[in-house]
Amino acid sequence: MSERLSSLLVPCFILLVSVYASLYVGLLPPLWFSLLPLLPLIFAGVAILLAWHFNKGRVFILVLLLLIPKLYGDSDQAASLTAYLVISCFCIALLGFVPERGFFNRFVVNRILFVLMLVSWCYAIERNWVSFAFLDHAFLSTNVSWSTVLLWCVLFISTLAIGTAWWLSGDTFRASGLISIVSLLIVSHFVSSDIQFDALLSAQFLLWIWFLLMESHRMAYLDDMTKLPGRRALNEQLVGLSRHYAIAMVDVDHFKKFNDTYGHDMGDKVLKSVAAQLRLFSSPGKAFRFGGEEFTIIFRGKRLSEVDGILELIRENIEDAMVEVFDPKKKQEIEVKVTASVGVAFAASGESPDSVLKRADEALYQSKKKGRNRVSKSPSPKNV
């Protein structure tokens, strides 16, 4: 729940600040006031450059979508805005369900052509180059036309779809997409001046710049397979440790033999299973992927007396969590038991984190030597 809501926290904050700022944008100094129309284009350029650098094709398409109102200009803005709103909300929701395929390849080109087709089609309808007479008829004897009903149906379905997908997955892209749709609705129905429009549109691009920066952080610090923080994040944690802490090393038993028997794909399933147990039961510690089949847990603070029990709980749950793998000899799915060996070291006064990590690794070796699937504790160092 907390991870899901945290993915929406910053996008909501950016939206609320931009709405508040747009109400007082007229109070800006003349120089800033004259530069504000250029701000959306500047932020869009930055977002496109970042999307190219991090190979994020979906963000590239989304930025182009948000630029549509700037391309329309002042020509028949009311009619154009309807087409823009429908296309943008629908495509933003759609992008939340398609996989990332990179910045510029045939997938992105096909998606851009699809968006251009929708833009051209809606623009043709708005200009009466193509017409459907029944859309102008009243809906069920009301003052609302069928075209208006269809418009709101598309908006409702798009918002509901990406909102539900975000709620189920906690995905940051979908959270940002949901806020983008809400922002577009605000822009379309409550903005009364071009300068307010530019302020809110700038915030939209700022939102996606934030998303790309968070993605770069995730790629640098999070192990993509296990979804645990990686070695770089571990190194930064070691630098900032206080005096009272413990470090545990966890190693999957007979992992090489498992890979040789069932293949590396099945080995990845084992690592994911072990990582899942570490996420669930390592609190108040924090788990990291050290490399290969090794993991590290850092315990810091005043609850070090609980470490032994927590590590035993982790070891037991890793053993109890059966992993389903494909046996190439039997040609069928089977369930296998996975075990892990653990070594832990408690920091002594004045001892460096590297020394504690080394002692935890030595304790892990003792667990392996004593028969695996056990927790061993490193003795306190004699000389620090």
**317/52 Cα distance (integer angstroms):** 42
**110/16 Cα distance (integer angstroms):** 34
pLDDT of residue 81 exceeding 60: no
CATH architecture under which domain 231-377 falls: 2-Layer Sandwich (3.30)
**331/325 Cα distance (integer angstroms):** 11
355-379 confidence digits (pLDDT tens)? 999 999 999 999 999 998 999 998 8
Cα distances (Å, whole numbers) of residue 66 to 3, 6, 62, 128, 185: 27, 24, 6, 24, 13
Q: Give the pLDDT band (50/70/90) at residue 80.
A: very low
Average of per-residue pLDDT values in the chain: 84
**Residue-range domain boundaries for the chain:** 2-221, 231-377
Q: State the DSSP string of 190-221.
A: H--SHHHHHHHHHHHHHHHHHHHHHHHHHHHH
Q: State the DSSP string of 319-343.
A: HHS-EEEEETTTTEEEEE---EEEE
Is residue 41 a contact partner of residue 70, using CB atoms and an 8 Å limit?
yes
Q: What is the separation, in whole angstroms, between the first and last Cα of the chain? A: 43
What pTM value is reported for the model? 0.76
111-154 confidence digits (pLDDT tens)? 888 888 887 877 776 677 766 666 667 767 777 777 777 778 88
pLDDT of 331 reads 78
pLDDT of residue 330 exceeding 70: yes
Cα distances (Å, whole numbers) of residue 62 to 84, 141, 313: 13, 38, 45
250-286 confidence digits (pLDDT tens)? 999 988 888 888 888 888 888 999 999 998 888 888 9
